[in-house]
Amino acid sequence: METFVFLFSFSALGILYAMNSIPAFQEPYVILEIGVAVLVVVFLFYFLITRGNPPKDVLFFVFAVFSFTCVIDLVSALEYDGIISGFMAFYQKTGEPYLGTPYAIMMCYWDGIVHFIMYLVMISRITDRKGYRSMGLIWAGSLCANMSVFIAGIVAGKYGSEIRPAFWINFLFLLMPVWGAITLFSRPKDRPLIGGYNAQQAQSMKLIWRPTDLILVVLLIAAMAFTAIRGLVALDSPLEACSIYVKHYEPYLKDPVGYPRVMMLHLFFYGLPLLGAFVYGLLKPGCTWMSDWTLFLAGAMIQCQWAHIGGSLHPRTTAQFRIPNGVFWSVLVANLLYAVTPILVALRVCNNPYFFLKIAPFPGQTGLPNSAEKDTKIKDK
């Protein structure tokens, strides 16, 4: 099924080429109508061909339809970068002109490549009746961050006065990952929440004897400081440190397109509390929620940082907003380390989960069934 979805998704090229060639299809409201109609037709197509053997997971249809749109995003990015032509010129003018901003171009590359691969893998897992919860949480975090920054950036940035009818389709791509995240969070975890002897041993060790966790705590605290200063810059804080940072290190934060500012505010108000919670989770044993939320934030952070770093380096970004040459490597390394930190935490939690499990009670401990408590008392007598 994943091979079929992969091949069918490229039929989007034919639709784009036809719309680019026929002037009647290039009117703003016509673009919106065709966009909605195509999404409905693609959904009905997959619904009908799977009626004989319907998928057990309704998210299959979300992944299949979104795979189709991934090709459109990839074509958009490639055409804006001058690699291909003849498919999206009409959309650049009367559809969504803000897709030509460096941030949006990098966002489309991420959707057209990374999300596309993830959809195909998750479709394969659903078809084979296998679990995909961990990857699904990474996808949900990535797409939620992607679309929330994208939509808010359009409204708050310089393109807020150029909103066309096609803009409203974007809300579908925000609501679906939110619904997907709620669905995936509510499903049983892939691993048990309760551990025995190994969990007790892991949780009895102080942080000083867990060097990996100690390094991660230091990285998380550094990431929190990095998030805070960039968030304050986005809030136009008068602090001298913020003025120095935006002037000499990341002037891209003041780009009038609005995306960098909105992204920093997202990370400040949502990412910062989660980073702090992860520090707590590495200090306090038995935080079973760590396995889910680290995956979700890892997906969000890597997508945001990809678009942010790529946008600040893209040739379309005005020279005054690019990273200054004198601090280029230090700023780049700081951003890359910032992106990698939640991924490292997620890998730590998933690969060695004993510290984050609830400990099963042993004979003689509280919480045992009554019969076990009686047997223990008899032995003591």
Instruction: List the pLDDT tens digit at each of the 381 positions of the chain.
Output: 778 888 888 898 998 999 888 888 888 899 899 999 999 999 999 989 888 788 888 899 999 999 999 999 999 999 998 898 888 888 888 888 888 899 999 999 999 999 999 999 999 999 888 888 999 999 999 999 999 999 999 988 788 878 888 889 999 999 999 999 999 999 887 666 665 666 777 777 888 888 998 999 999 999 999 999 999 999 988 899 999 999 999 999 988 888 999 999 999 999 999 999 999 999 988 888 898 999 999 999 999 999 999 999 988 888 888 888 889 999 999 999 999 999 999 999 988 887 777 776 655 554 444 433 444 333 333
What distance lies between CA 274 and its chain's CA centroid? 14
State residue 145's pLDDT score.
Answer: 92
Question: What pLDDT, on the 0 to 100 scale, is given for residue 374?
Answer: 40
> What's the pLDDT score for residue 181?
93
Using alpha carbons, list the distances in angstroms from residue 170 to 35, 73, 152, 154, 290. 11, 12, 11, 11, 30
User: Which amino acid type is present at position 271?
Assistant: G
pLDDT value of position 369: 43
pLDDT at 93: 82
Question: Exposed/middle/buried for 28, CB within 10 Å: 0-12, 13-18, 19+?
Answer: middle
What are the tens digits of pLDDT across the range 32-71? 999 999 999 999 999 898 887 888 888 999 999 999 999 9
Global pTM reads 0.87
3-class DSSP state of 194: strand
CA distance 313 to 330: 14
- Contact assessment for residue 101 and residue 259, using Cβ atoms and an 8 Å cutoff: yes
Q: pLDDT at position 372, please?
A: 38
Gyration radius from the chain CA atoms: 24
Report the candidate in 178, 46, 61, 181 with the shortest Cα–Cα distance to residue 122: 61
Contact 127, 287 (CB under 8 A): no
Q: Which helix (H) or strand (E) holds 158?
A: none
On whether the CB atoms of residues 138 and 296 are closer than 8 A, the answer is yes
Confidence (pLDDT) at 138: 95
- pLDDT value of position 218: 95
